[in-house]
Amino acid sequence: MASYEEVQQENYFLCDVNQDAISHALDQFAARLPTTIMTFAGYWDDRCVSAAHALLRLWIACGLQTDTAELTSAYDDCIDIALGAFAPFDTQTEARYRDLILRQLGHDKNHLPGVWREKTRQRLEAAR
């Protein structure tokens, strides 16, 4: 699998406005959470989701105040990724990713069902 830097270099070579726009949108991930773009997990429902995609989905669900099912599903994807998708040597990005999720979870705790919160708390404690 190519790194994001390799993909970005290829996009520069193509000189395509659409590719440049996509690269521009991902530049903040590349700068602060570089491996989230190319870290994928596909453990559930035969889906394969990148860490960056899952995080964007979560932020949009939180910002648009989507229904509880969508919000908990977005959190579940992010938590699944945080607990098992990053490479063992990728501790810095993994730690930042986890911090972002936990911080967001603190903001949303009143919008999440108590049963889900308790199960998630137990799951996170078991992963320590």
pTM above 0.95, yes or no: no
Residue ranges covered by each domain of the chain: 1-32, 40-127
In angstroms, the first-to-last Cα distance of the chain is 29
pLDDT tens string 74-120: 999 999 999 999 999 999 999 999 999 999 999 999 999 999 999 99
Distance CA 32, CA 43 (A): 25
The reported pLDDT for the residue numbered 31 is 83
Q: Which amino acid is at 49?
A: V
Helices 91-108 and 68-84: crossing angle, nearest 10°?
160
